[in-house]
Structure 1
Amino acid sequence: MRMQVDREQEAADCFICRKHRGDIQVHGGTIYEDDLLYVGHISSNEKQAYLGYLIIDVKRHTPGLAELTEREAQSVGSMLTRVSRALKACEKAVHIYAAALGDHVPHFHIHVIPRYSNTPPSFWGLQVREWEGAPRGGQNQIEQVCSRIRAYLREDKG
């Protein structure tokens, strides 16, 4: 019983669960949502965010890959492919990185990070956002990116 109460409290305090409940608003709004998944643009305290940096969240509060149901795992895989295609088609990304870290937020989510042309090889990988020449923008630019990706996903049914 104590473990169940701890999990319920963890979910109540969880940043991702709070976002799904609508307690936290992110720039660009929801790109995609169904009963299993949520996709949105990364939300940060920075004034200029790395454009196209998306997050795929599983809606159910669960800590990691090993705890996903088969249906969740299939949905995550399919959505990862779809948003990667959208980033290449709409934002002209040349490569897509995906990482499930989970060190700071114990709710399964995948970071989907585009790499754009002209990115120096010394910034390839998860440090791609650290390049000073990377495409960045504020709320308006994030909303434009999200709008293009939403439109692409409506047309691309996977």
Structure 2
Amino acid sequence: MENCFICKKHKGENSASDFKIYEDQAVAIYHLDPGDGEVYLGYVFIEVKRHIPGLADMNDEESCAVGRMMKRTSAVYMKEFPVEHVYSFVIGHNIPHLHFHIVPRYKGSPREYWGVKADEWPEAPRGNREAVLKFCSKLSALINAE
């Protein structure tokens, strides 16, 4: 799709493409783009590379690849970072290209910041472009070694 933000990211046509962590034939993983500010470190997206709108549209290869990368990413977070839980969400009402939000909940996060509010915790690790790129590099190496 020519106007799809995620398709453009996969082609390297927007700044969000700078935050790639992993890619294979079926899926890609990107960190949330910090733009000119700061973002919650570890907020990543597992994106099906084929332009499809929802879960029911995945083929077997894509669903296996998504599951494998959810497991691998979560395992790395739990083993290598101060994380006590990893969330996955499919929201899908802003961008009609299937993508999964993978969000770690850092240790010490108060209950009111659990779930979809995990990234709102004011004391959570955050980073600017440089910090996110460093995080991406570390996470990429760990995921590829998993």
TM-score bracket, normalised by the shorter chain, equals over 0.9
Q: Is the 8 A contact 2:36 2:129 kept in 1?
A: no
Residue in 2 that maps onto 1:12: 2
Paired residue secondary structure (2:51)? coil
Secondary structure of 1:61's partner? coil
Alignment match, 2:144: 154
Deviates more, 1:107-116 or 1:28-37: 28-37
Gaps of 5+ in 2: none
Q: Do the aligned partners of 1:90 and 1:148 also contact (CA within 8 Å) in 2?
A: no
Alignment match of 1:74 (pick from 64, 69, 74): 64
The equivalences for 1:3-152 within 5 A come to 11-26=1-16, 29-45=19-35, 47-152=37-142
Q: Are the aligned partners of 2:51 and 2:98 in contact in 1 as well (CA < 8 Å)? A: yes
TM-score, scaled to structure 2: 0.94
Q: Contact between 1:27 and 1:139, CA under 8 Å: does it hold in 2?
A: no
- TM-score relative to the length of structure 1: 0.87
Runs of 4+ deviating beyond 4 Å: none
User: How much has 1:87 moved relative to structure 2?
Assistant: 1.6
Moved more, 54-63 or 125-134: 125-134
Match of 1:6? none
Shift of 1:132: 1.1
Matched length: 146
RMSD over equivalenced CA pairs, Å = 1.4
> Alignment identity in percent?
36
Question: Secondary structure of 1:104's match?
Answer: coil
Structure 1 residues 21-76: Cα deviation after superposition (integer angstroms, max 9, x where no partner) = 11012276311001111101012446110000010000000000000001100110
Q: Which has the larger radius of gyration?
A: 1
Counterpart of 1:147 in structure 2: which amino acid? S
Q: Secondary structure of the equivalent of 1:143?
A: helix
